[in-house]
Structure 1
C-alpha cells in the first residue's frame, strides 16, 4: 500500500547536510529530507511532499534542540512554507560555508571516487545585498515576489535582503500581470535596469568591470550575479590556464567572453581562442567587447554541435576553459576536449554534482583533478561555485 505522510509531524534527529539545501534524517526506515534544520538538531518536522517512495520532504516547524550555528533569519519570509529563494538564512555565514564544503566533498567522493578536502571561501561584501540580478514574479494580485519552495505559489515581498538595495526597490515597486516577471539588474556603475514581461522599462545596456577591462552587455543577459565573482573567477582562471604565447585555447559556454579575454591576453596575437556560446546576443556583445583581439574567434551554437562540426577549424587545443550550465558539460563535450589533446582544463561549475560527474568522465580519459577552489558566490542559498583544474 502506498505511503503518504503529507501533513504528518515527525519528531526527529537531523543528520548530515545533503545537496539541495536540506539535511537528511530517517524515520521508520524512510529517508526524510528536512529543510530549515541544521545537522545535530532535534526538530519537529511537518511532511510537505510524499510521493510514496523511499523518501519524503519536510520542513522543520519547531526546534527542540538547536545547533550553536542557528541564528534568526534576517528575512521575515525565510521560513517553512514561505519564500523558496534562500536555504540557509537560519545558519551563520561560516556554518553555511561549512555546509556547502561538506556537500562538494560528498559529491566528489560519491560520484567521482575522489577524497578531497574542501574549503568554501567567502567573497567580499557580506551575506546580504550581494545579488545584483534578480527575477521577481507577480502573484494573483499583481504584487511581485518569489515562489515558495517547489511551488508555483508566489510569496509577495516588501524587500529581498540578499538583493542589492536599489535593485530590490525598483523591482518590488512595480506591479505586473499575474504570473508576469520583473527582471532587475544593478550594474557596476550603480545603474538599475528593469524589464517587465520582456519590455525594457529602464536602461538595457549594463556596464561591468572585470579582468582589467570595461564591459558593455545586455543588462539581463549572462553575467555573474555576485559583484565580486567575475573578477575573482577571471583571476583564478588566468592563473590555472597559464596558456603559453602562441597556444590554442578554447572558451566553452563563453557568455560575453570574460574568460576568452583572459586567454587572449595569454596566447597573444600568434595564438588563438575559440569562444563558443549558444546565445546570439551574448556572442554579439562578446564580439563588440573583444573587437581589438582578433585572436578570439566566435562560434554561435551549442557546444556539442560546434565541436563536432568539421568546419569549426583546428580541432586541437592546448588549454580549455569551460563554464557549463547547471546540468554540466556531459560526456560528449568531455570526450571532445580529451580528443583535442588539451593538457590543462579549467572547469567553472555552479553545481557540485554535475562537476563530480564530469570529473569522473575526465578521469576515464586520463585527466586528474589537480586544484579545486570553492566560493560562496550565493550566500544564504545552497548554491556554491567551484573552479577545478584538471591535467593530463
Structure 2
C-alpha cells in the first residue's frame, strides 16, 4: 500500500475500459485511477479528487489531449468536473452511452457470475433529454435549490435541468426555499406538478416524512401515474419509475416472461404498489392467486386502492426475507416468482427461499448490474439458468441501467 497521496495532483493518463459507476479505468505508476468525465481510448489530464493511499484513487478528467470519436459537448452547462453529480455521460453521444452501459452489464455478468453474454441496451421512447419526471433537489444555505456534486454535500445551484421533463421544475428553481431542506418534485402522467419540501430535521431522522399542509407546497392528493392499462394514485414523493415509459415497458416484459396460466399461484416480491401484481393477476384470473410482499406501508395502501378490483391479489407488509419463510408462502409453491429488489439485490436468504419452492420461472427486475450478477450466480447454484436478458436505458445521461432477466430451471 502506498503511503504517498496524489490528492489534488494532476497526472496524464490514457483511459482504459469503462467501469461500473460512471467512470473509466486508467493506470499510472502501478496504481488504478477511476476517472470521471473521460471515455475509453482518450488521453487526458486527471485531477485526483480522492486518494486514501491505497491501490486506487479517483479523479476528474480536466483536460482532454486526445478525444474519443464518441465525445460530444455536454448539453448542460452544469455538467463537468466539480459540478452537478447527477449525469455521468453527458460528454458521450447517446449511442455511446448505451454501449458503455452494455459493456458494464456484460463485464459484471462475466466477472461475478461467469456468464458470457452479449448485451444490448435498448432506448426507451422520447430521446435522452427531457425525460425525468421525478427529481430530488437540495437547497443550499442561501435558499437556492440545485443538485449535489458527485460524492459531495455541496449544492450546485441550477437554473434548468436538461434531463427534467418539460415543466417539471416550473416555479421551483426561481424561488427561495428553506436552507438545508430537500425538494421532491414529481410531474405525474396528467401533467400535474407536485412539490414536497422536506425539512433538515426530518432528513436527519432517517425516514421519509408524511407530507402535511406545511410540507406539501402544491399538488396534494397524490400523483396519478398510468401503466399496465390502469391509473395508479401513488404518493408524489414515494417510489415510481422516473422515466415516463419505464413502468409500462417493464410491466410488458415481465408479463411476457411470467406467462402464468389461469389458476396459477404467483409471487410478487418487493411489489411496491402492485404494478407487476396487476399483470400477474390478469394472467392467473379469478381462480388463481398472487401474493405480494412490500415493506413500505404507503406503497401497499396505494396498491390495495389501485387493485381493489382484483381479489386474487393478497398483500403482505414486511421484509421479503422474513415473509417468504412463513405461511402462507410455505403452504403452496408458486409457478412464477417476480422480484424487483432494491439496489443491493435480493441476496442469498431470499433466493434460497425462492429456489426451495422450485418455481418454473423467475423474472428479476434489476437496477444495478453488479447486484444482478451476484444474484445470477446465486440462482445458478440452485439450478436456475439465465435464459433471457433485456437491458433498458431508463436513465439516459447517467450510468444507471435497468435490466429484466428470466431464469428457468435446468432440470
Q: TM-score normalised to the size of structure 2?
A: 0.94
Distance, in Å, in 1 between the alignment partners of 2:319 and 2:269 is 9
Contact 1:170 1:184 (C-alpha < 8 Å) held by counterparts: no
Secondary structure in structure 2 of the residue aligned to 1:16? strand
Give, in angstroms, the shift of residue 177 of structure 1: 2.3
Contact 1:148 1:154 (C-alpha < 8 Å) held by counterparts: yes
Q: Which moved more, 1:165-174 or 1:30-39?
A: 165-174
Distance, in Å, in 2 between the alignment partners of 1:246 and 1:175 is 56
Distance 1:178 1:2, change over 3 A: farther
Instruction: Decide which of 325, 333, 344 is 2:350's aligned counterpart.
Output: 333
Give the number of aligned pairs: 392
* Cα shift readout 1:96-138 (whole Å, capped 9, x = no counterpart): 0000000000000000000000000000111111100001000
Secondary structure in structure 2 of the residue aligned to 1:111? helix
In structure 1, runs of 5+ residues without a counterpart are: none
Distance, in Å, in 2 between the alignment partners of 1:170 and 1:163 is 14
* Cα shift readout 1:12-40 (whole Å, capped 9, x = no counterpart): 10000000000000000000000000000
Distance 1:232 1:311, change over 3 A: closer
2:117 matched residue in structure 1: 116
2:218 matched residue in structure 1: 202
Does 2:369 match 1:352?
yes
Q: TM-score normalised to the size of structure 1?
A: 0.98
In structure 2, runs of 5+ residues without a counterpart are: 199-210
* Cα shift readout 1:40-87 (whole Å, capped 9, x = no counterpart): 000011100001110000100000000011001011010001110000
Contact 1:136 1:171 (C-alpha < 8 Å) held by counterparts: no
2:282 matched residue in structure 1: 265
2:157 matched residue in structure 1: 156
Contact 1:159 1:169 (C-alpha < 8 Å) held by counterparts: no
Does 2:385 match 1:371?
no
2:338 matched residue in structure 1: 321
Distance, in Å, in 2 between the alignment partners of 1:183 and 1:174 is 15
1:131 matched residue in structure 2: 132
Give, in angstroms, the shift of residue 311 of structure 1: 5.2
Secondary structure in structure 1 of the residue aligned to 2:405? strand
Distance, in Å, in 2 between the alignment partners of 1:167 and 1:78 is 19
Q: Which runs of 4+ in 1 moved over 6 A?
A: none
2:242 matched residue in structure 1: 225
1:191 matched residue in structure 2: 192
**Counterparts in 2 of 1:54-65, with a 5 A limit?**
54-65=55-66
**Counterparts in 2 of 1:64-103, with a 5 A limit?**
64-103=65-104
